[in-house]
Amino acid sequence: MLTAKYVRDNVDPIRASMKKRQLDFPIDRILQLDEEWRKLKKETEDMQAKHNKTSLQISELKKQKKDADAQKLIGELTDVKKQIEKNDAKLADYQEQLDKLLWNMPNTLHESVRYGKDETGNVEVKKWGNTDKKIAMGHTEILEKLGLVDIERAAKASGARFYYLKGDLVLLAQSLERFALDELARKGYTPIATPYLLKREHYRGVTGLGDFEDALYLATSPREAKKEEDMEDEELFLIATSEHPMAAMHAGEVFSAKQLPVRYVGISPCFRREAGAHGKDTKGIFRVHQFEKVEQFIFSKQEDSWKYYEELIDNEEYIMQKLNLPYHRIEMCTGDIGVVAAKKTDLEIWFPSQQKYRELTSASNCTDWQSLRLDIKYDEGKERKYVHTLNATAVAVQRTLAAIVENYCNDNGTITVPDVLVPYMGKKTIGR
RNA sequence: GCUGGGUUCGCCUAGUGGUAGGGCGGCAGCCUGCUAAGCUGUUUGGCCGUUAUGGCCUUCGCGAGUUCGAUUCUCGCACCCAGCGCCA
């Protein structure tokens, strides 16, 4: 569990990390609340000890049929009990204040993460592939001309940022998913098909608070929505990525060190409100409310997590290279990394129509941020430690389709199927 | 949705209005030696303290109630299993 003790034990790195983020996080307030809490806790525990001892004496006296003496002690206990109750209420209040602060505390950054105000501060560390291609139309236009996507009718049916995929594009989407799944299964990742709805208590443990407003859809039956009391117990959120149900899958569990690492490759649709993205990428299938994604997830021992972080990125690059899509690799700066990750690396793919790289995959080492909140541990020797969790995209289907369309379109209007997908598609060209 | 049964340490399992026990697995140590076994201790989380290897609190799905005292009794909730109903 996430407690103030964690802050006490790691206060120096936490302070340094907040300073680098240029964030005024109230660490001193946490330490102060913790100290007051511990003082009162000790006081209350001593009273409880007295109470317990007296209860045992009462038991003894009753056995010896000394009812009068017992009654006297019972009278004495009444005051102690009242005071304990009072203190418990105060302790709960401290606890609540601490929880609020702790649950929203951003992860401690890896030392290599650089300061930057926003995405302009991210650092390119690698480039791969040929970016010479010039095209006149964007992926949306190409696909609409071929009748492979219907955005207007999707708007009619469901609103902006939805789409119908049609014909060979549906098959290409499935091919892409299956390709990524097969490659990772071959590398020892266990395929997982996850639930698409997740309880609030687990959602709190995998993402920052802002996501509840900006990213997540709340799914509630009309009948449940009517009763307002205890609503929070009934709330289910549509998942924004299979990372979340994969993390929650082992909530409250204890691995043995021998079981680790646990490698999963999840497959699911993802639902995102994209609040705050007004005006950005409003057309096509690039930024949408619903998309499919193949996602890598690893539970690891603490000392191994940076090794697996590299493995996840290697897998991402491997898939990009197999698909022969030009990309570059960038490391997120403090302004673009969010609260959960200790370090984050994206791959961005080249979009010829925009003459720009756009985000396609993202890999994060969340270290113990999620495991502290979801209570996921492992036994190693005498010690019980919190696992490190890592996640990374394998394939974000719709965005990758867009990238394939732009990088594989031909002058005659057709689209060449990437070599590795031909066995899944059963054809080499789309649009004829 | 209805009826019944269940939820106890990493896993399995006993238990009762008065300090929560056993087995397996794990860990530490001892003994011995040939395909391994045996013995002892330890195995929820936290607070204080000192390093002496102590004291205390907490913990039997979650929350509330009755009680000097609840794992045990009562009520509510969650989840699991079985049966019935409904259903792709």
User: d(Cα A370, Cα A252) in Å, to the nearest integer?
Assistant: 12
Task: Report CA(A184)–C1'(B46) in Å, whole number.
Answer: 42
Start-to-end C-alpha separation, chain A: 58
Task: Report CA(A89)–C1'(B70) in Å, whole number.
Answer: 21
Domain boundary among A103, A129, A163: A103
Quick one: what percent of chain A has pLDDT higher than 90?
67
A215 shares a domain with A316: yes
Q: What is the pLDDT confidence band of residue A226, given thresholds at 50, 70 and 90? A: very low
- The residue to which tokens 């302009």 are assigned: A120
* Residue nearest the C1' of B11 (CA based): A254
Task: Report CA(A211)–C1'(B25) in Å, whole number.
Answer: 41
**pLDDT, tens only, A84-99:** 888 888 888 898 899 8
> How many Cβ atoms sit within 10 Å of the Cβ of residue A49?
10
Task: Report CA(A236)–C1'(B81) in Å, whole number.
Answer: 24
- The nucleotide lying nearest A52 (C-alpha to C1') is B69
A133 shares a domain with A255: yes
* Residue nearest the C1' of B49 (CA based): A42
* Beta carbons within 8 Å of A12's beta carbon, 6+ residues apart: none
CATH number at residue A65: 1.10.287.40
On whether residue A349 sits in a domain, the answer given is yes
Task: Report CA(A9)–C1'(B57) in Å, whole number.
Answer: 22
Task: Report CA(A232)–C1'(B5) in Å, whole number.
Answer: 29
On whether residue A304 sits in a domain, the answer given is yes
Pairing of strands A356-365, A388-396: antiparallel
A238 shares a domain with A170: yes
A123 shares a domain with A99: no
- The nucleotide lying nearest A84 (C-alpha to C1') is B57
A154 shares a domain with A48: no
User: d(Cα A41, Cα A100) in Å, to the nearest integer?
Assistant: 19
On whether residue A239 sits in a domain, the answer given is yes
A284 or A315: which leads in pLDDT: A315
Give A385's strand partners. Answer: A378
On whether residue A112 sits in a domain, the answer given is no
- The nucleotide lying nearest A63 (C-alpha to C1') is B18
Domain count, chain A: 2
On whether residue A111 sits in a domain, the answer given is no
A74 shares a domain with A172: no
Q: Is the peptide bond before A261 cis (omega within 30 degrees of 0)?
A: yes
* Residue nearest the C1' of B45 (CA based): A1
**pLDDT, tens only, A302-333:** 999 999 999 999 999 999 999 999 999 999 99
Strand B neighbours with CB under 7 A? Answer: A 1, 3, 5, 38, 41-42, 45-46, 48-49, 51-56, 58-59, 62, 74, 77-78, 81, 233, 253-254, 256, 379, 381-382, 384
Classify burial at A131, counting beta carbons within 10 Å of its beta carbon; exposed 0-12, middle 13-18, buried 19 or more: middle
The range of the structural domain enclosing residue A126 comes to 119-430
A228 shares a domain with A90: no
| DSSP state string for A135-176 | -SS-HHHHHHHTT-EEHHHHHHHT-TT--EE-THHHHHHHHH
Domain boundary among A103, A138, A165: A103
Task: Report CA(A226)–C1'(B80) in Å, whole number.
Answer: 28
A157 shares a domain with A51: no
Task: Report CA(A253)–C1'(B37) in Å, whole number.
Answer: 32
A137 shares a domain with A93: no
What are the Cα distances from residue A118, in Å, to A138, A142, A387?
27, 32, 30
- The residue to which tokens 């867009």 are assigned: A402
CATH number at residue A295: 3.30.930.10
Q: What is the pLDDT confidence band of residue A139, given thresholds at 50, 70 and 90? A: very high
User: d(Cα A393, Cα A321) in Å, to the nearest integer?
Assistant: 15
Phi-psi region of A237 (alpha: psi -120 to 50; beta: other; left: phi over 0): beta
Domain boundary among A103, A132, A164: A103
Q: What is the DSSP letter of A66?
A: -
ipTM score for this prediction: 0.86
Yes or no: say if A244 and A207 are a contact pair by the CB < 8 Å rule: yes
A423 shares a domain with A354: yes
A234 shares a domain with A139: yes
On whether residue A114 sits in a domain, the answer given is no
Task: Report CA(A372)–C1'(B45) in Å, whole number.
Answer: 14
Q: What pLDDT shows up at residue A280?
A: 84
- Tell me which of A60-64, A87-91, A165-169, A427-431 is least confident: A60-64
**CA-wise closest residue to A350 among A119, A133, A144:** A133
Pairing of strands A217-219, A123-128: unpaired
Q: What pLDDT shows up at residue A221?
A: 61
A342 shares a domain with A248: yes
**CA-wise closest residue to A262 among A366, A190, A159, A173:** A190
Q: What is the pLDDT confidence band of residue A170, given thresholds at 50, 70 and 90? A: very high
Q: What pLDDT shows up at residue A224?
A: 52
Yes or no: say if A180 and A418 are a contact pair by the CB < 8 Å rule: no
On whether residue A110 sits in a domain, the answer given is no
**Nucleotides of strand B lying closer than 7 angstroms to a protein CB:** 10, 18-19, 26-28, 44-48, 56-58, 68-69, 77-78
- The nucleotide lying nearest A258 (C-alpha to C1') is B26
On whether residue A34 sits in a domain, the answer given is yes
- The nucleotide lying nearest A3 (C-alpha to C1') is B46
